[in-house]
Structure 1
Amino acid sequence: MRFSTRTAACWLVAACALAGLGLVDLRLGEFSGDDPLRLVWAVATSAVALVAAWAGPLGVGVLSAAQVLGAAVTWWVTRHDPSTGLPFPLSATAALLGVLALLVWRGDHRWMAFVVPAAAVAIMVQPVRGDLDDLSGFRPVLGVLVLSLGVAVAVTGGLAARLTATTRARQAERARVAQRVEFARDLHDFVAHHVTGMVVRAQGAAAVADHRPELVLPALREIERAGTEAVDAMRRLVGLLRAPSDDEAPGLAEVPTLVERFRRTSGLPGALDLRGPFTDVAPMTSTAAYRVVMEALTNAHKHARDATTVDVVLHRTATHLEIHVTDNGRPAPEHRDGFGLRGLRERVAAAGGDLSAGPGPHGWAVGASLPIGARG
């Protein structure tokens, strides 16, 4: 079991509770007499319960089986004891119930099938002393019913804890899978952004190669730079796919670099207007904002005909981050919402925002409104 302050505190409370029950047993005279068996059994079961609290699934099963075996031996030895009361002191019974709950909660399922019924029987048959005719009295029956209630509470509590842990594990796994899917989409979009710039540069170099050969070498250098950046982006995102985290993904801090790269690869003057502050923007919102700007610039690079400028505005309001990316070009007639915009709509919706994309007053416009959220 993983060590934590909460775990240590719970263990300390359990140890104090067992010690308190041991003092009650001592006060009731449970450990009086010449036979030390009851005292040894109480100390042993309490020690096993405290050790089981730190044991793994297999260890809990082994310790539970040892307790059941010890309970059977103790019951057999004391079954003809003429003294009244139960063969196990309060502390021993509490320790048995505690280990039963631990077994149901964290025990290996292969041990649970055999040890849980045996442990339940070992606890419930305590009032059965001597012959089975002893059950004809009221007190033995009442004792069995009370201990059965204790077993039911222990098993129910263990099952509730096990189901809660299983549910949390499944939710965490679903969240990890969903996050990896998002980063896979990011990988597609980032690489498409870089490759688009390389293709445009290559086309431009081919167009001017005959009459302006001096422009070919600078274009090749830009293509080389874009290729290097694409490789770096792929390496970074593949690393994030292994251990994804929105805090590590590109965000608002990288938007100026993104716009500057767009200026170099497209040859268009990209104007960036930041109206912050953005320091308290949630990581998920920051990443989604970066994606909006990147997809809008990529589409402007690919589809905006005769564009002379692209404007990027990020405006922080009291509760939202407003993003506007506009160009003054003519959209290509065949331009439709592609996979990039579809994935972007899903990403923005997942962050609790809205996305719009379509013809603007002087060209194509992409807008998004994202809640600021809270940085954890």
Structure 2
Amino acid sequence: MRQKVLLFGLILIGLITCFVTGCKEEKSTAHAAFYYWKTTFLLDKSQAALLKDGAANQLYLRLFDVIWDEQKNDVRPNAIISINQDVHQFHIVPVIYITNKTFEKLTPGQIEPLAEKVNKLINEIMTQNKVSYRCVQIDCDWTTGTKNRYFSFLKAFKAVNKKQLEATIRLHQIKYADRTGVPPVDKGLLMFYNMGKLSGQLKQRNSIYNATDASKYISYLPTYQLPLDIALPLFSWAIQIREGKVIQLYGKIGQKELSDQDNFQQTAQSNVYKANKSFYLSGLYIKENDLFKLEDVNPKLLNVAAKQLSKHLAHLENRNIIYYELSTVAASALEAKDIKEVSAHF
């Protein structure tokens, strides 16, 4: 009898506690961060404030690219970052982008020397700017044909760098992991964007993110054999369409440019604009009657993406939610509370 009374008392205490606290869900342990991908690092006041207040100064900083030089028939660094301000207050993860062509061309004997060169340049840049680091992220859209050489590079780099190693993962590499393989790293970074089809059809779904295309991949997430951080989109682009065909994709043409009524008129579809005349815009040729379909991401859409994705992820404490990227117009339209709200879904 005493046991029943005790059990009843515990249940009653639990109900009262739930009533008082509103039965809140377990608090998210995810941490927000930003990518920065420009070749010159110099934050303005609004970017610095968003980084500090929205992401506690957590920054994934692209230091340089690694490309294949056809003339020299060898690899070389490209677009090395120029850091034009003091960065000691930031918690920086170096990011290196390596083209898939590099691994198409590399011989097995060039892999280890490349790992040593990449590690050396990372350390030179970080030492020059008096920044210590605990992790490196490698970004490469490898294929089944380059898988073995890329994975060998990752192993060689890990051996010489001796810090935590992460690799970016595209959605198709999640779905077809049995073909593309799982990189030999400590953690993956799922790029949850660029999932739709670029099309001249004006009513085509948003190719940066849409829930329909995302649903084709996310069911494969629980069985993926790496812990995953998440990258969410924070950018826009304009698709140039001429006579029903995609001509080009522009990240530098946004709402501001398309709202210039001397050059464009808005169509019945609110995110599609028509060129009034033929002209040049920042060196880009635009022909009269060209259509520009603006695709972007706002806080509402980010919340939809985060909510959809979080339901399918294996549990991970202290997951990083990285927003790509800090220098975009889309980022300037956000406030720290928007970032915190989206990150809280994880």
Shorter chain as denominator, the TM-score bin is under 0.3
**TM-score, normalization by structure 2:** 0.21
Q: Which has the higher contact order (CA 8 A, sep 6+)?
A: 2
Quick check: which one's strand share is greater?
2
**TM-score, normalization by structure 1:** 0.20
Quick check: which one's helix share is greater?
1
Give the number of the structure whose alpha-carbon radius of gyration is greater: 1
